[in-house]
Structure 1
Amino acid sequence: MQSFVQDRYFREHVRGRENPRVTAWFFHAYVSHITAPPVLREARALAAFWDKADILAYPQELVVGSLFAAEVAWFHYGDGVVLDRKRLEEYVRQNGLDAQAYGEMADRVEKACYQNPYQPGFRSDRFTEEQKRSLYSTAATSTWFGGHMAMDYEKILKVGLGGYRKELALEKGSHPEAKEFYEALEVTLSAFQRLILRTALVCEQLASCQEEDVLRENMERAALTLRAVAEEPPAGFREALQLVVMVHLCSNADSFGRFDKYLFPFFQRDLEQGRLTEEEALDLLQSLIIKVEQLGQIQNMTLGGVLPDGSGNYTRLTELMLKAVSNMGYKGPNLALRVHPSMPQHFWPLITSCLATGKGLPALYNDEEAIPALQRGGYPLELARDYCLGGCSQIMFGGRSQFLNDIGLMNVAKIFELTLHNGRDVLDGGKQISPATGEAWDFPDFDSLYRAFLRQLEYFIPLEAEINTLDVLERGKKEGYAFRSLFTRGCIESGKGIYEGGPLYQNVQLECIGITNTADSLYAVKKAVYQEKRLTLAELVEILDNNFEGQEELRDYLRGLDKFGNDREEVDSLRMEITRFLFDGLRGQKGPFGGRYIPGEVIFTAHELCGAHVGATPDGRLRGEVLADSAGSSQGMNRNGPTALLNSVRKLPTEEMVTSIVVNLKFHRAFFEKHQEEAAALLRAYFRGGGQQVQVNVCDKEELKDAVLHPERHQDLIVRVGGYSDYFVRLSPALQQEIILRSESVV
């Protein structure tokens, strides 16, 4: 298969390759249009970049599309306009330019574009002192991230790029106040079409110098495919796949949406008309996976589930995509398979075989849990059935929503630590962060401590919404997001961008970290202090402040108490109560463009960041250690096996809208390979019992330990982290140890 030839060439000649030529196409155009509205200056800068940047293609590729650039400034969906000062210095040096003049231009760029509070030159007047205390402590903060989205691939494939040009011409007359917005979208669309044609020209040039017939024909076909979709809708599967890749490349999007749903009509028609074989389709899908690896970032792809009419979306294309991911040795795409009772039973061996490769793919999502939750959130049934996943595991409606996924972040373990210290941050010199709700000696019983903790949550919940709403509005003032607005339904019709309330559906999704650690800690305090009276709360707090120094016996006792994830009713009930209280409070907060705040537990790598801001905790965790990696147990604390862990997790309140409730399972490789049927039965039972999501790591602890010592031997070792898969040796030492500590499960 040609994709395997492509794979070998990619690994040997393309992977990790960087362009030594530093360029400033985006930077110069951005400076030239710096007084224009953000959406227009961004569009002009992107157009200049797409018109000038080097295009990387190689004749072994079946699916093409890649910009090969080292720009001094660029636009990224998560961060807005980004400027690299070191790269700018190199650009000035390479071209013999005036360093002072370019430094002044850089200052103008940074002043014009969005900045998060950790960037140099941050304007501190955006937030009040109260809000800054909260966000810098990480109790209620933000990820300063622009949110996950999927473009409107169904519409793109239906009307083609020319259809969007007609729609822009039709709608702009109805919104004269949005003249610059429509101009920006027209500039963006034209530049995107030119980029497609430039890529076709590169393929034609490559074809002209190939001696091997197969490589020459490969590039000629790629060029014809690109020229065919530059204006008109795609006619077949290859054309549709190529257009999706180009849109995905230029949108910076991290979700392909419901990939098998919108591509299946092209796949089926080509098969029926004899223009495509299944082997050719598999070859193209495997080529796509190489392209996903080349692009680098997390890129979600949703498969399966039900269609808006309720029928199952489990097709031969779905099977081929699972097979393609299993065949190729890469960490992506971040497959999200929607499971529904209509899913044919023969899919389960496909799923477990894919999981047995150790890549943590696919993650599984329960339609019978997610769809009713979306309905309770106010969405009609047909729309609820059409959800997809973005980023790690965030629920959205592809091409129709701006849910600002992942922007918010609450550190519940930090909030409990503040409760123990009367609102003071013990890791920041005792600074008062939140209201005084009592010193450690002020709580005569567990209930009084628990009420103080809930009062702290009540304080931080609206503060979390305030911080992120201010940040979202600031981003909207500074950045344009023209490309995403072009391909998100509702924006063209309303004349408003994705940060102005243009998309059809609006929410703000955020993640809550450390709830498991907090429940375990509260239970430990209840047992050790108030029931067994081993020590007073004040004594325990002092021991925590000293990081358990000289108290190993006490720490061992605390670690040995019941923990969430073992199907123990008392600690599980605490976990459930805290989660419900927090989630209900957040869902009551209004979003900046309508909608509301939607909580969840998609941890990503935030358990490392947030853990670094939390001292020792009563569950036995030491100062600065990572927090729980998911909605499941703390690392190594699910002692009663996977059934008990899943029994605990399915008690969590997911009947209302959540971003997602991620739970990690880990199996020993040799065991999982021999017991795939039992593993599938366990996962089916979990979903029948109301579980929402599960993801599986299949690996060996000894292999992970060896990879820490000898990373050069394990460059392609992939693990599931906190909602996504990544190469183990690229993770931080803290995350590597966290994954090693996760319990290996036996069914």
Structure 2
Amino acid sequence: MNHFGELTERMNNFREELLNARPMVCVERAKLITESYKEHADKPMVLRRALSLENILKNMSIFIEPETLIAGNQASSNRSAPIFPEYAMDWVIDELDKFDKREGDRFYITEENKEALRDIAPFWEHNTLKDRGLAAMPDESKVFYVLGIIKAEGNITSGDGHIAVNYGTVLEQGLIYYKERTEEKLKQLDLTDYNNLNKSYFYKGILIVIDAVASFAKRYADLALELSEKETNASRKAELLEMRRILNKVPYYPAESFHEAVQSIWMIHLCLQIESNGHSLSYGRMDQYLYPYYKKDIEENNITRDIACKILSNLWMKTFTINKIRSWSHTRFSAGSPLYQNVTVGGQTVNRKDAVNPLTYLILRSVAQTKLPQPNLTVRYHRGLDDNFMKECIEVVRLGTGMPAFNNDEIIIPSFIEKGVSEEDAYNYSAIGCVEVAVPGKWGYRCTGMSFLNFPKSLLIALNDGVDLESGVKLCDGVGHFKDMNSFSQVMEAWEKIIRDFTRHSVIIDNCADIALEKDTADVLCSALTEDCIERGLTIKEGGAVYDFISDLQVGIANLADSLAAIKKCVFEDKVITSKQLWNALIDNFYGEEGKRIQDILINDAPKYGNDEDYADLLLKEAYDIYIDEISKYKNTRFGRGPIGGVYYAGTSSISANVPQGAGTLATPDGRKAGEPLAEGCSPSHAMDKNGATSVFKSVSKLSTDKITGGVLLNQKVTPQMLSKEADRLKLISLLRAFFNRLKGFHVQYNVVSRETLVDAQEHPEEHKDLIVRVAGYSAFFNVLSKQTQDDIIERTEQVL
């Protein structure tokens, strides 16, 4: 028997239906937005965006599943992925006949729908976000994008996402509150000031989308009535009529019950996903803003705990219906089709009290019962977190879904306050997407997740005097070739020269993407629900949010550490390898007897990050701090335009980018062969962490985690047997408390699955269709991953408590 109980038969049937749904490509949105863009081509872009959302919500297919208590669908069928042509269309047309032949993340499309997309493609030629983003990049920076050293495809082929809007205010006030505020601001504008003309377009756009969302909800209310008139089951008939009542009320008017609140949240969340295909759209601190509705209904006997759990489980299944198709090259950075829709629970209230409440426990229970890769569940840890709650969290961990992840108040809140976030807002932060963090409803887009910078590849270029080994392109002036270096200080000098220059180019690429996003894809609804865009009359990309800090993502951190340690130890200290021998071995991919001998020395005779050895750990800190220092100098496109911040910080939430970035990286001085995956997040390289979990925690804690506010992603893996005894579960709780309280760790999450199970799932996928694994800062079904990503997960170190 599951510790958390089982889904009701009805909800379990719904779950099975979703798991068996074939992920199709839906073309409805693509056709409707093309139609709208053509009709309103003469209008300002912000109005064009608003009118296109209105057209989509008015005309897209809708349905209400027989099992559901919550209405709303993203596409023409569940688990189907809409196409968003305004962001990019070239890859869609190029890959139409390959969607169902991918190694992983397959999608299916009918021949009729292929033709529909080919028909609208000419309109979007040289007319998409990707086209404008690439055209904006200076040649000297664009070469980094082309060579894959700086990966930014996701920024110019989709919306931003990475945000949580102010769901609490939506529930308390309804969309009518936002409409009335907007009408008042519009009335006050002096249009002789040309700046106010742009504000007027934004305000008119908000009024359009608010009415469109209300009408969209009413479409479902009308459908519920229509279905009720045909329904013969009295119980289902009553449910449909209640759904009709609720959908005629929310999200336009305030919610007054738990069911109303959940339906309101879902309708807003859904419309935001239809407005833009930016992922990591998150629910924020749901146990805080939803609790008053649960508490009231429980106290007034309007609901039972079991019914509330069923409604939450229903919400998670609806969340799982949302899907996204990416280009194959981008898919490899996001294996498993993740949407990173994060729910945050626990943590502290703004007056520093433990925020755990009865709904917090119920959210844990409902996520555990549903056992799906969405939503992405995060627990905010603080030193006052109750042991009983920690035990409940570990019970969820034991289920093997990779959830919950733990983020640490003890490091994140001070880091925010130091950067200018008010204390009240800092205590109200939530996880966004993977492990990135922000203040819900007040933070701009992309708190983490701009471009990816490949650290190991950057090191190889640094050692090659600034020349990319594969293309032969001179990217910048170096300090000489590794074969001619006679001290390790020259290696570090080369690294510093290269990484500072590459960081500068990553910011240029980011800015080009942001300028294009601001100009061409204003997200009107999302901006309206983010403070304080309405007050300023600015969209999020124009500087409307209260806070706007972002980070790029650094990939292959552990490989950098182990490479530097191997060079310093084996070449310059012990002198067991010459610089020329090492370089030739790298170029030859450790081929032959001599290559194998050198590879063995690099792997076995040099200290490794993840073992609490200062030698490697502090080398990484020194190298990473150079990057942190450099990135902190730069500003994003919103700097000085209203938000607090407008600057960068570091982040290691590299999702599954370690696999494709490894595929494009030659052999590295840590002994890794060409094409093999890089280490993910800030986790040690596979099998290099030999001293147990405590040593891993200590190594990670030596990084400047207070400055890596974009997220310090740490994956750990244990077998189910390791947590089978209560004593071991208590030991894990003690270990977590030590990591977070004493070592000021930022984040950790666990895969609880044996190597044997994973290998068997590769060989017999039909017997493991429910197997969920933690890929990076998110979970996915193991079977949908490419073999290369599966292998990467299999090879992770199994820790012993």
> TM-score with structure 1 length normalisation?
0.94
2:415 alignment counterpart: 373
1:262 alignment counterpart: 289
The answer as to 2:457 corresponding to 1:414 is yes
1:574 alignment counterpart: 619
C-alpha distance in 2 between matches for 1:337 and 1:682: 16
**Equivalent residues in 2 for 1:172-183, closer than 5 Å:** 172-175=186-189, 176-177=196-197, 178-183=199-204
1:156 alignment counterpart: 170
* One-letter identity of the residue aligned with 2:738: A
The answer as to 2:8 corresponding to 1:8 is no
C-alpha distance in 2 between matches for 1:723 and 1:45: 33
Listed one character per residue, the Cα deviations across residues 249-305 of structure 1 (whole Å, up to 9, x for unaligned) are: 111262001111110111112112221221221111111121122224221111111
> CA offset at residue 231 of structure 1?
2.7
Q: Which range moves more in the overlay, 142-151 or 502-511?
A: 142-151
Q: Tell me, yes or no, if the aligned pair for 2:25 and 2:82 is still in contact at 8 Å.
A: no
> CA offset at residue 317 of structure 1?
0.3
Structure 2 CA distance for partners of 1:453 and 1:88, relative to 1, 3 Å: closer
Aligned residue among 730, 733, 739 for 2:784: 730
C-alpha distance in 2 between matches for 1:385 and 1:234: 25
Structure 2 CA distance for partners of 1:132 and 1:80, relative to 1, 3 Å: closer
Listed one character per residue, the Cα deviations across residues 96-131 of structure 1 (whole Å, up to 9, x for unaligned) are: 99x9xx96853333433311xxxxx67754222210
1:341 alignment counterpart: 383
* One-letter identity of the residue aligned with 1:127: M
**Equivalent residues in 2 for 1:625-640, closer than 5 Å:** 625-640=676-691
C-alpha distance in 1 between matches for 2:392 and 2:564: 42
> CA offset at residue 45 of structure 1?
1.6
The answer as to 2:142 corresponding to 1:137 is no
The answer as to 2:132 corresponding to 1:127 is no
Structure 2 residues without counterparts, runs of 5 or longer: 1-5, 98-107, 190-195, 274-279, 324-338, 640-645
Q: Tell me, yes or no, if the aligned pair for 1:141 and 1:467 is still in contact at 8 Å.
A: no
C-alpha distance in 2 between matches for 1:135 and 1:659: 22
Structure 2 CA distance for partners of 1:60 and 1:647, relative to 1, 3 Å: same
1:189 alignment counterpart: 210
> CA offset at residue 228 of structure 1?
2.1
Aligned residue among 255, 262, 281 for 1:234: 255
> CA offset at residue 91 of structure 1?
11
C-alpha distance in 2 between matches for 1:96 and 1:572: 52
* One-letter identity of the residue aligned with 2:52: A
Structure 2 CA distance for partners of 1:5 and 1:398, relative to 1, 3 Å: same
> CA offset at residue 27 of structure 1?
2.0
* One-letter identity of the residue aligned with 1:410: L
Q: Tell me, yes or no, if the aligned pair for 1:72 and 1:88 is still in contact at 8 Å.
A: no
Q: Which range moves more in the overlay, 419-428 or 121-130?
A: 121-130
C-alpha distance in 1 between matches for 2:308 and 2:404: 20
> CA offset at residue 68 of structure 1?
3.3
Q: Tell me, yes or no, if the aligned pair for 2:556 and 2:679 is still in contact at 8 Å.
A: yes
* One-letter identity of the residue aligned with 1:723: G
**Equivalent residues in 2 for 1:198-209, closer than 5 Å:** 198-209=219-230
**Equivalent residues in 2 for 1:440-459, closer than 5 Å:** 440-459=482-501
Q: Tell me, yes or no, if the aligned pair for 1:465 and 1:597 is still in contact at 8 Å.
A: no
Q: Which range moves more in the overlay, 19-28 or 185-194?
A: 19-28
The SS at the match of 1:484 is: helix
C-alpha distance in 2 between matches for 1:307 and 1:246: 27
Structure 2 CA distance for partners of 1:95 and 1:543, relative to 1, 3 Å: closer
1:424 alignment counterpart: 467
Structure 2 CA distance for partners of 1:136 and 1:22, relative to 1, 3 Å: closer
Aligned residue among 537, 558, 561 for 1:516: 558
2:721 alignment counterpart: 670
Listed one character per residue, the Cα deviations across residues 145-180 of structure 1 (whole Å, up to 9, x for unaligned) are: 324111111111121011111111011133441222
> CA offset at residue 217 of structure 1?
2.0
The answer as to 2:221 corresponding to 1:216 is no
Q: Tell me, yes or no, if the aligned pair for 2:555 and 2:654 is still in contact at 8 Å.
A: yes
Structure 2 CA distance for partners of 1:555 and 1:709, relative to 1, 3 Å: same
Identity of aligned residues (%): 29
The answer as to 2:563 corresponding to 1:556 is no
The answer as to 2:295 corresponding to 1:285 is no
The SS at the match of 1:220 is: helix
The SS at the match of 1:706 is: helix
1:469 alignment counterpart: 511
Aligned residue among 587, 597, 613 for 1:545: 587
Aligned residue among 762, 772, 782 for 1:708: 762
> CA offset at residue 325 of structure 1?
1.3
C-alpha distance in 2 between matches for 1:350 and 1:576: 35
> CA offset at residue 15 of structure 1?
4.6
The answer as to 2:300 corresponding to 1:300 is no
> CA offset at residue 241 of structure 1?
0.8
Q: Tell me, yes or no, if the aligned pair for 1:112 and 1:478 is still in contact at 8 Å.
A: no
Listed one character per residue, the Cα deviations across residues 30-85 of structure 1 (whole Å, up to 9, x for unaligned) are: 221223222221221221111111113112112221133289975499x5899954
2:331 alignment counterpart: none
Q: Tell me, yes or no, if the aligned pair for 1:7 and 1:290 is still in contact at 8 Å.
A: no
C-alpha distance in 2 between matches for 1:134 and 1:162: 47
The answer as to 2:644 corresponding to 1:587 is no
The answer as to 2:369 corresponding to 1:327 is yes
C-alpha distance in 2 between matches for 1:512 and 1:568: 22
* One-letter identity of the residue aligned with 1:419: A
Q: Tell me, yes or no, if the aligned pair for 2:26 and 2:83 is still in contact at 8 Å.
A: no
Structure 2 CA distance for partners of 1:92 and 1:530, relative to 1, 3 Å: closer
C-alpha distance in 1 between matches for 2:139 and 2:224: 56
C-alpha distance in 1 between matches for 2:690 and 2:81: 50
C-alpha distance in 1 between matches for 2:425 and 2:114: 56
> CA offset at residue 137 of structure 1?
2.9
* One-letter identity of the residue aligned with 1:373: S
**Equivalent residues in 2 for 1:372-411, closer than 5 Å:** 372-404=414-446, 405-411=448-454
The answer as to 2:39 corresponding to 1:32 is yes
C-alpha distance in 2 between matches for 1:91 and 1:683: 46
Equivalenced residue count is 737
Listed one character per residue, the Cα deviations across residues 193-220 of structure 1 (whole Å, up to 9, x for unaligned) are: 1110111122222222222222222222
* One-letter identity of the residue aligned with 1:159: Q
* One-letter identity of the residue aligned with 1:691: G
> CA offset at residue 494 of structure 1?
1.3
Structure 2 CA distance for partners of 1:423 and 1:223, relative to 1, 3 Å: same
C-alpha distance in 1 between matches for 2:482 and 2:289: 58
C-alpha distance in 2 between matches for 1:83 and 1:169: 41
C-alpha distance in 1 between matches for 2:212 and 2:585: 62
C-alpha distance in 1 between matches for 2:778 and 2:27: 31
> CA offset at residue 641 of structure 1?
0.8
Structure 1 residues without counterparts, runs of 5 or longer: 116-120
* One-letter identity of the residue aligned with 1:526: K
The answer as to 2:649 corresponding to 1:598 is yes
Q: Which range moves more in the overlay, 28-37 or 542-551?
A: 28-37
* One-letter identity of the residue aligned with 1:635: H
Aligned residue among 612, 621, 624 for 2:672: 621
* One-letter identity of the residue aligned with 1:247: I
Q: Tell me, yes or no, if the aligned pair for 1:601 and 1:660 is still in contact at 8 Å.
A: yes
1:56 alignment counterpart: 63
The answer as to 2:738 corresponding to 1:685 is yes
1:118 alignment counterpart: none
* One-letter identity of the residue aligned with 2:129: Y
> CA offset at residue 388 of structure 1?
0.9
Listed one character per residue, the Cα deviations across residues 397-442 of structure 1 (whole Å, up to 9, x for unaligned) are: 11111142301221111110101111111122x2112222211232
1:486 alignment counterpart: 528
C-alpha distance in 2 between matches for 1:386 and 1:20: 38
